[in-house]
Chain A
């Protein structure tokens, strides 16, 4: 087959050697009119839906603008300014704004919260922006330095440990001896289990031991006196509590969830059984029950005189709860990876953890980014439930401000809820957009 090009001279007179110029497209298919024809009025049902949409926007938007801007009260010192208002009471928000952020965290110590937020932001940005260097350093900072710094900054550090169960005088010594005993027992138990199952017992035991080492270092650093005033967690509140719970839950649920998902697909029956029981237990109970159990029931089971911080209990409850959901999301991703990928990796001689971390998980997690972020967003909003155990998160603190007679006015609660909705929406929407961005970025075009 030979191609005849226009510029090649051909002897055949019937072969056209000059093409007709492209004509401009009709005005109905380009520009604003074209776009509207294609997207809004392409068929009768679409036209009806478009008109309906316009009507709904008309119903919602003007009153909202009227409430927040036109009829809103902008200036004032107390409730008298808003007493007759038909719109939002902004002076109330202004007066309470910092309470919404910090709760009852003492004024002179609020710089510690700000510093924590700042440390978090400078750690997070390099991790989120793919073009930034120092990814590894950023990760170490976020996983090792930041949690310790945040713990000490927010609580004040200088923890004292009394110990739990040994029959000896309370004090640091008892605590550390108990710590060593627990570490030895857990490591030994897991060593024996993995050896029975034919796994790499020595390596597993060593990594468990390393984990206890990190924990010991954490306990030790937290017991150092940095000269900070202690701020007890009942004083924490507002966005601070929301972020503490959400960030801890998010940071803990992803690794625990991945471990559980791998465990549920493991060939080792014990590991699989433990994972299944864990996941099904936590998914089977409502989060409210978990929180109630942690705050009301758990103290009943603990020995006399031992109390765990209420916030810490909520944190653990939320983290484990979210982990179970995360595990199932990740398992969905793992199931989407074909057998060929495992075989390709195995045939090259990769070991289990190499195969999982280099080949399977990167693909599986990319596939389930929407599901992962979905769980994150759900978790972020579920933090509002801690109100029922007496912790004042953002929504809780806004609601509690309604009891202030200084600002009681007809539109106070509307305004407060509007602010709560807006702040939650900003956080959740950012997560959602970031996940879409990451999805696009990690898409290498074609599957398999």
Chain B
């Protein structure tokens, strides 16, 4: 095992930041149903701080639902989820607390079309973090520079390309200074030539040690930055491993089938 890890490391030179032993997210026996449909079946997942996890699997396998349970966009019906030391219950205060610490980037960006880019970025810091407007704007400009679109700050989302919008969405999340970032298929709605600009931003984030959970089929990205790749199907975690082992030596038949389909 150590042999193959070393070999892969020589090839792609993944950033090897230290992962602390502190636990960022813990899911134990999480189950969820949509009516009769059992979407998540006994999910157990522990994410350490600084860990970067890529989740893949066929559509309908429950991967989006799983990460959306982490910030309570979806409610789980059985099991425990502890995020950043806070257990998720019906208590609205705890949900708010968790959402403040967990950033999320969506497939369809979900920018607010009636607000400028800058206002999109400053809204939550001002209203949720109670930050003075000036300070929030400085922070927003800092992150917009980081995603390389400060010159678009006064435009509206509808005037930007898909790739630019998704970078704004990432900057908007970062403005809340989250400790964990969730990415729900961030590049699936983008034209091919825009995928790279978004992935570059995400790689940058990963290199800084952000705890990331990313639902994506960008396998190059998975190889480059992930510590762990999780394969889900039928609402279960079928297989998880370091990227090199996962891609080069999948254990499970369904994983093999899936990989053969997406890697051609």
Which A residues form the contact surface with B (CB < 8 A)? 198, 340-341, 343-351, 354, 358-359, 362-363, 366, 442, 444-448
With both chains docked as a complex, state the minimum distance between the C-beta of B84 and any C-beta of chain A, in angstroms: 13
Tell yes or no: B111 within 8 A of A by CB. Answer: yes
The answer to whether B128 touches A348 (Cβ under 8 A) is yes
The answer to whether A348 touches B73 (Cβ under 8 A) is no
User: Given A363-B114, A447-B158, are A344 and B106 neighbors across the interface (CB < 8 Å)?
Assistant: yes
Q: Top 7 A-B pairs ranked by shortest CB distance?
A: A446-B158, A344-B110, A348-B124, A347-B104, A349-B99, A340-B110, A444-B156
The answer to whether B90 touches A198 (Cβ under 8 A) is yes
CA distance A358 to B102 in the complex (A): 21
User: Closest chain A residue to B123 by CB distance?
Assistant: A358
Number of chain B residues whose Cβ lies closer than 8 Å to a Cβ of chain A: 30
User: Closest chain A residue to B110 by CB distance?
Assistant: A344
Additional 16 contacts, C-beta under 8 A, given A347-B173, A366-B114? A198-B90, A343-B73, A343-B106, A344-B110, A344-B112, A346-B99, A347-B71, A347-B102, A347-B106, A349-B96, A349-B124, A359-B112, A362-B114, A444-B114, A444-B157, A445-B156
With both chains docked as a complex, state the minimum distance between the C-beta of A194 and any C-beta of chain B, in angstroms: 13
**CB within 8 Å of A: which B130-182 residues:** 156-159, 172-173, 176
Tell yes or no: B34 within 8 A of A by CB. Answer: no
**CB within 8 Å of A: which B70-120 residues:** 71-73, 90, 92, 96, 99-100, 102-104, 106, 108-114
The answer to whether A348 touches B113 (Cβ under 8 A) is no
The answer to whether B158 touches A348 (Cβ under 8 A) is no
With both chains docked as a complex, state the minimum distance between the C-beta of A444 and any C-beta of chain B, in angstroms: 4
With both chains docked as a complex, state the minimum distance between the C-beta of B131 and any C-beta of chain A, in angstroms: 13
The answer to whether A445 touches B176 (Cβ under 8 A) is no
| Chain B 41-75 near chain A by CB (<8 Å), digits 1 or 0 | 00000000000000000000000000000011100
Tell yes or no: B127 within 8 A of A by CB. Answer: yes
Contacts of B110 in A (CB 8 A): 340-341, 343-344, 347
The answer to whether B156 touches A446 (Cβ under 8 A) is yes
Contacts of B114 in A (CB 8 A): 362-363, 366, 442, 444
Contacts of B108 in A (CB 8 A): 340, 448
Contacts of A351 in B (CB 8 A): 96
With both chains docked as a complex, state the minimum distance between the C-beta of B114 and any C-beta of chain A, in angstroms: 5
Contacts of B111 in A (CB 8 A): 344
User: Closest chain B residue to A447 by CB distance?
Assistant: B113
The answer to whether B159 touches A446 (Cβ under 8 A) is yes
The answer to whether A349 touches B100 (Cβ under 8 A) is yes
With both chains docked as a complex, state the minimum distance between the C-beta of B112 and any C-beta of chain A, in angstroms: 6
User: Given A198-B90, A354-B127, A446-B157, are A348 and B176 neighbors across the interface (CB < 8 Å)?
Assistant: yes
User: Closest chain B residue to A199 by CB distance?
Assistant: B92
With both chains docked as a complex, state the minimum distance between the C-beta of A62 and any C-beta of chain B, in angstroms: 49
The answer to whether A363 touches B90 (Cβ under 8 A) is no
With both chains docked as a complex, state the minimum distance between the C-beta of B92 and any C-beta of chain A, in angstroms: 8
User: Given A444-B114, A447-B113, are A347 and B73 neighbors across the interface (CB < 8 Å)?
Assistant: yes
CA distance A366 to B114 in the complex (A): 9
| Chain B 172-194 near chain A by CB (<8 Å), digits 1 or 0 | 11001000000000000000000
Contacts of A363 in B (CB 8 A): 112-114
CA distance A346 to B111 in the complex (A): 12
Most A CB contacts (10 A, CB to CB) among B109, B124, B156 go to B124
CA distance A319 to B176 in the complex (A): 42
The answer to whether B106 touches A448 (Cβ under 8 A) is no
Contacts of B72 in A (CB 8 A): 346
The answer to whether A445 touches B96 (Cβ under 8 A) is no
Contacts of B96 in A (CB 8 A): 349, 351
User: Closest chain A residue to B159 by CB distance?
Assistant: A445
Contacts of A198 in B (CB 8 A): 90, 92
The answer to whether B113 touches A446 (Cβ under 8 A) is yes
With both chains docked as a complex, state the minimum distance between the C-beta of A40 and any C-beta of chain B, in angstroms: 35
Contacts of A354 in B (CB 8 A): 127-128
Most A CB contacts (10 A, CB to CB) among B102, B111, B127 go to B127
The answer to whether A350 touches B124 (Cβ under 8 A) is yes
The answer to whether B172 touches A348 (Cβ under 8 A) is yes
Contacts of A446 in B (CB 8 A): 113, 156-159
The answer to whether A347 touches B156 (Cβ under 8 A) is no
CA distance A358 to B123 in the complex (A): 8
With both chains docked as a complex, state the minimum distance between the C-beta of A319 and any C-beta of chain B, in angstroms: 29
**B73 partner, pick from A346, A359, A448, beta carbons under 8 A:** A346
**A444 partner, pick from B73, B128, B158, beta carbons under 8 A:** B158
Contacts of A442 in B (CB 8 A): 114
User: Closest chain A residue to B129 by CB distance?
Assistant: A349
